[in-house]
Amino acid sequence: MRSVSAVMGGLLVPLTYWILRELDVSVLASFTAAVMLCFDNALVTQSRFILLDAQLLLPIMFATLSWLKFSKYQLHEYALDRTRY
């Protein structure tokens, strides 16, 4: 149980970087935000023990990333690779 919470808490850091890159934030700002989240004392503590915050935050952040990717593809829905057709 503890390792599941720790892994989910650890996956929040690269997911934060990925979300910020999807929002067209600079690499330095995205990296800084991910590092700040990595050293956030509350997230480290909650990920270390068997608490539900990491298990709840991870699907929320995946949903946010999915929504961002969907909104980008919605603008260019027919801009896919047409060489196959």
In order along its 85 residues, the chain shows pLDDT tens digits of 778 888 888 899 999 999 999 999 999 999 999 999 988 888 878 777 777 788 888 999 999 999 998 888 776 666 555 554 4
pTM: 0.78
Q: Are 34 and 17 in contact (CB under 8 A)?
A: yes
Domain count, the chain: 1
Within a domain: 42: yes
List the domain range (segments joined by +) for residue 18. 2-75
Does residue 55 fall inside a structural domain? yes
Q: What are phi and psi of 82, to 5 degrees?
A: -100, 5
Whether residue 81 is contained in a domain is answered as no
Other residues' Cβ atoms within 10 Å of the Cβ of residue 57: 19
- Alpha carbon separation from 59 to 8, 11, 29, 56 (Å, rounded): 10, 11, 23, 6
Residue 84 lies in a domain: no
